[in-house]
Amino acid sequence: MKIDKIVSDSPVSAKYAYFDTGAAAPPPTPVIDRVKAYLDETAELGTYLPSLRKRVYEDLETTRAKTAAFIGAKPEEIAFTKNGTEAICLVAQGIDWAEGDEIIVPETEMLSNLSVWLQLEQQRGIRVVRAKASLEGLLDAAAIAEHVTDRTRLISFVALSNVTGAVQPVAEICAMAQQRGVMTHVDAAQAIGVLDVDIHDWGCDFLSTCGRKGLRAIEGSGFLYIAEPRIAELSSCMIGWWNSSVDGEGALVLPQTAKRFEAGCPNVPAIYSLDAALDYASDLGQGAIEARCREITDYALQGLARIPGFELYGPADAAHRIGIIPFNIKGLDPRSLVLELEMRGIIIEAGHFMASSILEGYNIDCMARASIHYFNTEAEIDRLVSNILDIKESK
Ligand SMILES: Cc1ncc(COP(=O)(O)O)c(C=O)c1O
Q: How many CA atoms lie within 13 A of 217 on its CB side?
A: 33
What is the SS3 assignment for 195?
strand
Is 187 close to ligand 1, i.e. is its CB under 6 Å away? yes
Is 21 close to ligand 1, i.e. is its CB under 6 Å away? no
Using CA atoms, how far residue 40 sits from 10, 53, 279, in Å, is 22, 14, 21
Residue 288 corresponds to which amino acid?
A
User: Do 225 and 67 touch, CB atoms closer than 8 A?
Assistant: no
Ligand 1 centroid – CA 111 distance (Å): 8
pLDDT digits (tens, 9 = 90+) for 146-158: 999 999 999 999 9
CA 67 – CA 127 distance, rounded (Å)? 34
Whether this prediction's pTM lies above 0.75 is answered by yes
Q: Treating both helix axes as pointing N-terminal to C-terminal, what angle do 84-94 and 115-124 enclose, rounded to 10 degrees?
A: 20
Residue 339 CB contacts under 8 Å (≥ 6 apart), including other chains: none
The atom number, within ligand 1, closest to the CA of 109 reads 1
pLDDT digits (tens, 9 = 90+) for 218-251: 999 999 999 999 999 999 999 999 999 999 999 9
Domains and CATH numbers, the chain: 3-28+285-393 (3.90.1150.10), 30-283 (3.40.640.10)
Ligand 1 centroid – CA 251 distance (Å): 37
**Most informative mutation of 80, 108, 110 for ligand 1 (most atoms within 8 A of CB):** 110
Q: How many CA atoms lie within 13 A of 173 on its CB side?
A: 28
Q: How many CA atoms lie within 13 A of 349 on its CB side?
A: 19
Is 113 close to ligand 1, i.e. is its CB under 6 Å away? yes
Is 112 close to ligand 1, i.e. is its CB under 6 Å away? yes
CA 203 – CA 368 distance, rounded (Å)? 33
H/E segment holding residue 349: strand 349-351
Buried b / exposed e across 117-153, counting CB within 10 Å, b at 16+? beebeeebebbebebbbeebbbbbbeebbeebeeebb
Buried b / exposed e across 329-339, counting CB within 10 Å, b at 16+? beebebeebbe
What is the SS3 assignment for 178?
helix
The atom number, within ligand 1, closest to the CA of 187 reads 3
Is 222 close to ligand 1, i.e. is its CB under 6 Å away? yes
Q: Whose CA is nearest to atom 14 of ligand 1?
A: 23
Q: Which of 81, 86, 79 is nearest to 64 (CA)?
A: 79
Ligand 1 centroid – CA 186 distance (Å): 12
User: What is the per-residue pLDDT for 248?
Assistant: 96
Is 84 close to ligand 1, i.e. is its CB under 6 Å away? yes
Phi, psi of 13 (to 5 degrees): -65, -20
What is the SS3 assignment for 236?
coil
SS3 assignment for 292-347: HHHHHHHHHHHHHHCCCCEEECCCCCHHHECCEEEEEECCCCHHHHHHHHHHCCEE
| Segments in the chain below pLDDT 50 | none
